[in-house]
Amino acid sequence: MENANDLFGVIDLDKVRCLNEKHSKTGAHLFREYDMRFEKTDFVTSECDGELLLIIPFIAQVKVRSICIIAKDENTAPAELRLFINT
């Protein structure tokens, strides 16, 4: 089932970058189609300090109204999230 609010189709997955990731290119695997959103097989971890910086380029203009973060368990969920646009 496709969700009209799903941005997966407009994310340029080849250009997604994750700074401070422990394993290269794992940041791009975080994004998946709406029906697969609860899959917990792909994840990203920080290489040193617990902070990650995801750079998510879009191929079209988008309006982000919400973000869904699904963690492996409550101990791995982010404590803080900051968003920066058009940087």
Identify whether the C-beta of residue 55 lies closer than 8 Å to the C-beta of residue 17: yes
Give the closest residue to 16 by CA, choosing from 35, 7, 1, 29.
29
Give the separation between CA 76 and CA 70, rounded to whole angstroms: 9
Q: List pLDDT tens digits, range 25-76.
A: 888 888 888 888 888 787 788 887 778 888 999 999 998 888 888 887 778 7
**What is the number of other CB atoms lying within 10 angstroms of the CB of residue 21?**
18
pLDDT above 60: residue 1: no
pLDDT above 60: residue 2: no
Longest dimension (CA), the chain: 38
Q: List pLDDT tens digits, range 22-31.
A: 888 888 888 8
Q: Note the pLDDT of residue 79.
A: 83
